[in-house]
Structure 1
Amino acid sequence: MKNLKVNLGIAMLVFTSFTAVSCKNQNEEDNVDHSEMNHDNMNGSSDMMEERSQTSEDMSGSENQDSQTARIVSDYLELKDALVADNTEDAAKAGEDLVTSFEGFDMSEYEEGQQQELTEIIEDAKEHAEHITMSDMAHQREHFDILSVDMVDLLEITGSPGTLYQQFCPMYNDNKGAIWLSTSEEIRNPYFGQSMLTCGKVQKEI
């Protein structure tokens, strides 16, 4: 009977020891799994942060391009409105602002081929804007005619910062016609001003 009790005691001790070792090993495995999961999560978070950073840079570049184009379009529209109002001084001032915007245009974010096209367009447009700063109304409108074509070419590369309407006057320039851009479909003719304010039509939306 005494031997039986001893044997049972030994068996219980062995079982307890085995259980303790098993629990310890399981805890170690759990720790390893959690460590690996945390490592994987950290790598995933790092990749996501890097992707978000790259996306922010791309958006920043896009916003910069839109901002530059928006300034040029705004100055152009100021010039157009001055011609509609037959105001030579305001047209000259808008021409000066337009020259400054053209000079400050950064092309570095565009592809090489686009940079070459933009350089040619902007140089020509700037020249006509400069003439507008020092001309009478009739000559301002002549230069505005060619400047408007340059603006359309520019926007084909940069994109428009907002909805614009390309409008057309069939009677200007000895009935050869001329285009201009506006934010409204309503016709306000910059080539004849108040004398023929509503002469023209919308050609297309940009």
Structure 2
Amino acid sequence: MKNLKVNLGIAMLVIASLTAVSCKNNNEEGNVDRSGMDHENMSEGSEMMEGGEQTSENMSGSENQDSQTGIIVNDYMELKNALVADNSEGAAQAGESLVAAFENFNMSGYEAAERQELTEIIESAKEHADHISYSDMAHQREHFELMSIDMVDMLAITGSPERLYQQFCPMYNNKKGAIWLSTSEEIRNPYFGQNMLSCGEVQKEI
């Protein structure tokens, strides 16, 4: 009887030991699997975050470029409208705004060749805007003609944040003609103002 109790006791100890080892192994395997999965998921999440940040930066840069160009286009339209209305003082104020907008234009988001070309265009346009800020109406219109060419060249690089129309007056500059930009297809001539308000035509969309 005593031997039977001893044998039962040994058997129970063996079973308990085997159960403990089995449980330990299972726990270790479970920990390894979860750790591997967590590391994998963290890596994928990190890559997705980095990709997301990059996309956000690209979008931010693009939006910033559009915003810069948009400010210049808006100031240009203020100038054009002032000339249409024969408002020399309003044209001078718009000229001052354009000088500041050109000076603040950040070219860091463009390629080296584009930056070089933009630098030349913007320097020229800024000079014309400066003259417009203090000149009489006749000289304001002369500088506006040259600035309009600069604007077309600039937008060819930066793109336009909105639809614009390149328009043409065949009578200005001793009938050599001159271009300007407008947000509307309707002709409102900035070179002759109220004297020849509808003189001109749409050449193309930008």
Same fold, judged at TM 0.5 (above)? yes
Q: Secondary structure at the match of 1:114?
A: helix
Q: Which residue of 1 aligns with 2:25?
A: 25
Q: Secondary structure at the match of 1:41?
A: helix
Q: How does 1:62-141 map to 2 (within 5 A)?
A: 62-141=62-141
Relative to structure 2, which stretch is displaced further, 18-27 or 121-130? 18-27
Instruction: Measure, in 1, the Cα distance between the counterparts of 2:205 and 2:38.
Output: 54
Q: Secondary structure at the match of 1:76?
A: helix
Relative to structure 2, which stretch is displaced further, 4-13 or 62-71? 4-13
Q: Deviations over 1:34-69 (max 9, x none)?
A: 111011111111122222222222222222222211
Q: Secondary structure at the match of 2:108?
A: coil
Q: What one-letter code is carried by the residue in structure 2 that aligns with 1:137?
A: M
Relative to structure 2, which stretch is displaced further, 115-124 or 170-179? 170-179
Q: Which residue of 1 aligns with 2:200?
A: 200
Gaps of 5+ in 2: none
Q: What is the root-mean-square deviation of aligned Cα atoms in Å?
A: 2.2
Q: Which residue of 2 aligns with 1:44?
A: 44
Q: Deviations over 1:80-128 (max 9, x none)?
A: 0000101111011111111111112122222211111111111111111
Q: What one-letter code is carried by the residue in structure 1 that aligns with 2:135?
A: S
Q: What one-letter code is carried by the residue in structure 2 that aligns with 1:91?
A: A
Instruction: Measure, in 1, the Cα distance between the counterparts of 2:49 and 2:191.
Output: 53
1:20 Cα offset (Å): 4.7
Q: What one-letter code is carried by the residue in structure 1 that aligns with 2:41?
A: N
1:154 Cα offset (Å): 0.5
Instruction: Measure, in 2, the Cα distance between the counterparts of 1:166 and 1:30.
Output: 70
1:24 Cα offset (Å): 3.2
Q: What one-letter code is carried by the residue in structure 2 that aligns with 1:145?
A: E
1:189 Cα offset (Å): 1.1
Instruction: Measure, in 2, the Cα distance between the counterparts of 1:163 and 1:153.
Output: 16
Count of aligned positions: 206
Q: Secondary structure at the match of 1:110?
A: coil
Q: What one-letter code is carried by the residue in structure 2 that aligns with 1:123?
A: E
Q: What one-letter code is carried by the residue in structure 2 that aligns with 1:160?
A: S
Q: TM-score, normalised by structure 2?
A: 0.88
Q: Which residue of 1 aligns with 2:152?
A: 152
Instruction: Measure, in 2, the Cα distance between the counterparts of 1:205 and 1:110.
Output: 24
Instruction: Measure, in 2, the Cα distance between the counterparts of 1:15 and 1:156.
Output: 84
Q: What one-letter code is carried by the residue in structure 2 that aligns with 1:61?
A: G
Q: Deviations over 1:115-172 (max 9, x none)?
A: 1111111111111111112222122111111100000101111111211111111222
Instruction: Measure, in 1, the Cα distance between the counterparts of 2:102 and 2:53.
Output: 30
Q: Secondary structure at the match of 2:187?
A: coil
1:16 Cα offset (Å): 6.2
Gaps of 5+ in 1: none
Relative to structure 2, which stretch is displaced further, 149-158 or 22-31? 22-31
Q: Which residue of 2 aligns with 1:188?
A: 188
Percent of pairs with identical residues:
75
Q: Secondary structure at the match of 1:131?
A: helix
